[in-house]
């Protein structure tokens, strides 16, 4: 077998991702198959394979399968669908591992690979190890068998299993032309209530809007149709269906940390005193609410793989992050599945006898920025955070440095961290008043300026 080197930008912290035919090719896909098949153990092992709706995904999946089979691994192809369907297939079929061809929420010219073992995600050092195996050319050899499996109906039935809503709801769903479309159509046919679907045709060109529900401008259509239909709520998905976005009946975005706080009210009844985990970008309101409900809040590093791993380590029944990756250990498998999160949200709202907007309004009112991204050179992003941290420590400021810097003041808190997947710095501020929020933004802006970074005019 020939040794293979990847473009230096594609091996990421949580997955493999690049620009098709520039930094990522079918040759890369074959090498990933050989390296991953070797790492899983070669002959006698079983790996599930799925792909999303991007135009390049079928050819990458075919090249990937070729690489996997050459190591002696048996491949079970589950076809086109969301990433969590692939995760479900690994659990349901008790496979050794799974690999998904997906560009997640990146632009349409990107694609990539998310990998999992039966026991949990593949990330960080394991992804670097995959690169080293490929570079060595020392691959397992064999002749694996391939099988096509249609698990869509089985997956839908499992999604529906934990729905317990006694009251019919009116719901609008926005698939964003991503990989959830077909599953969503099958799902809503079996859910009670009235359902309106937007952009459920899977189209890798994403002709209507970018499939990222954490960016408010991508929720314009969902907000409009929720208002036109007088719906109880709206739910949106990212390109590969592992992140959820939500709109309440008043047309407000319900962010990931607010959803976690609402889910916690139910989960902590079943698991009193349990640990619930959220990333460093989450509101202090969430951590306070978990404590008020009798749970143990844990602030952890941002990153879906990091949170899944921490959840498995602690036995937590619920975890999540601002970006809409939410993980149920309660009744589910611990992986991020936005379709399942949608079902659980409808069930919870229906059982509550209230509207989602009412549940949001029970949370304390704070003033905060959304997750704000500042473009910065890749070579500078981690250095800037180090510089800010050192200046704060020199000034005797207490810093939470579990992931970047999170700083408490009398007004509230602010955060600066480097993205693991993009050439950006991520910032967030939260205060108890608008004046306090302005002061926090000025503190953060001043720190950025000292490191040669100008905050955007709209921050």
Active centre residues (catalytic):
104
Element at 131 (helix H, strand E): helix 125-136
Please, what's the largest Cα pairwise distance for the chain?
66
CB–CB of 246/254 below 8 Å?
A: yes
C-alpha to C-alpha distance for 193 and 387, rounded to whole angstroms? 53
Provide the 3-class DSSP secondary structure of residue 428: strand
**Cα dihedral across residues 154, 60, 326, 126: positive or negative:** positive
Q: Residues 368-392, buried b or exposed e (16+ Cβ, 10 A)?
A: bbebbebebeeebbeebbebbbeeb
CB–CB of 411/4 below 8 Å?
A: no
How many angstroms from the chain centroid is the CA of residue 8?
A: 23
Closest CA to 407 of 440, 382, 433: 440
C-alpha to C-alpha distance for 33 and 1, rounded to whole angstroms? 12
The token duo for 240 is 């590969």
C-alpha to C-alpha distance for 344 and 160, rounded to whole angstroms? 9
Residue 216 DSSP code = G
The total of other beta-carbon atoms located within 10 Å of residue 160's CB is 15
C-alpha to C-alpha distance for 388 and 377, rounded to whole angstroms? 16
């Amino acid at each position: 077998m020939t040794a293979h080197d990847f473009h230096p930008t594609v091996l990421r912290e949580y997955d493999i991702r690049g620009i098709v035919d520039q930094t990522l090719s079918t040759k890369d896909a074959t090498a990933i198959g050989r390296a991953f098949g070797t790492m899983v153990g070669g002959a006698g092992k079983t790996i599930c394979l799925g792909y999303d709706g991007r135009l390049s995904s079928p050819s990458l999946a075919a090249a990937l399968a070729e690489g996997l089979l050459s190591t002696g691994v048996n491949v079970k192809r589950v076809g086109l669908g969301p990433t969590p369907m692939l995760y479900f297939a690994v659990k349901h079929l008790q496979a050794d591992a799974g690999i998904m061809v997906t560009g997640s929420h990146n632009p349409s010219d990107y694609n990539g690979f998310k990998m999992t073992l039966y026991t949990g995600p593949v990330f960080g050092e394991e992804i670097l190890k995959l690169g080293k195996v490929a570079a060595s050319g020392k691959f397992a050899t064999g002749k694996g068998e391939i099988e096509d499996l249609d698990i869509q109906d089985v997956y839908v039935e499992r999604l529906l299993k934990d729905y317990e809503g006694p009251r019919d709801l009116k719901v609008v769903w926005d698939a964003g032309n991503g990989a959830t479309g077909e599953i969503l159509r099958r799902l809503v046919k079996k859910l009670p209530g009235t359902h309106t679907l937007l952009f459920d045709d899977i189209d890798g060109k994403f002709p209507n809007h970018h499939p990222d529900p954490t960016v408010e401008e991508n929720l314009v259509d969902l907000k409009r149709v929720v208002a036109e239909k007088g719906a109880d709520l709206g739910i949106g998905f990212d390109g590969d269906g592992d992140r959820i976005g939500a709109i309440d009946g008043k047309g407000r975005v319900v962010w990931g940390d607010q959803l976690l706080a609402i889910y916690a009210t139910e989960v902590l009844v079943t698991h009193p005193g349990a640990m619930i985990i959220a990333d460093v970008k989450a509101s202090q309101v969430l951590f306070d609410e978990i404590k008020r409900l009798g749970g143990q809040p844990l602030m952890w590093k941002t990153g879906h793989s990091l949170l899944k791993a921490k959840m498995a380590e602690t036995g937590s029944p619920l975890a999540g992050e601002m970006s809409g990756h939410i993980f149920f250990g309660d009744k589910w498998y611990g992986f991020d599945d936005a379709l399942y999160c949608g079902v659980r949200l409808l069930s919870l709202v229906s059982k509550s006898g209230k509207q989602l907007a009412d549940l949001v309004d029970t949370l304390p009112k704070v003033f905060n920025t959304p997750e704000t991204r500042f473009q910065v050179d890749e070579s500078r992003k981690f250095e800037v955070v180090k510089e800010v941290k050192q200046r704060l420590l020199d000034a005797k400021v207490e810093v939470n440095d579990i992931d970047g810097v999170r700083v408490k003041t009398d007004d509230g808190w602010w955060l600066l961290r480097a993205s693991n997947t993009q050439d950006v710095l991520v910032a967030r501020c939260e205060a108890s008043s608008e004046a306090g929020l302005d002061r926090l933004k000025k503190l953060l802006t001043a720190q950025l300026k000292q490191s040669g970074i100008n905050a955007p005019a709209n921050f």
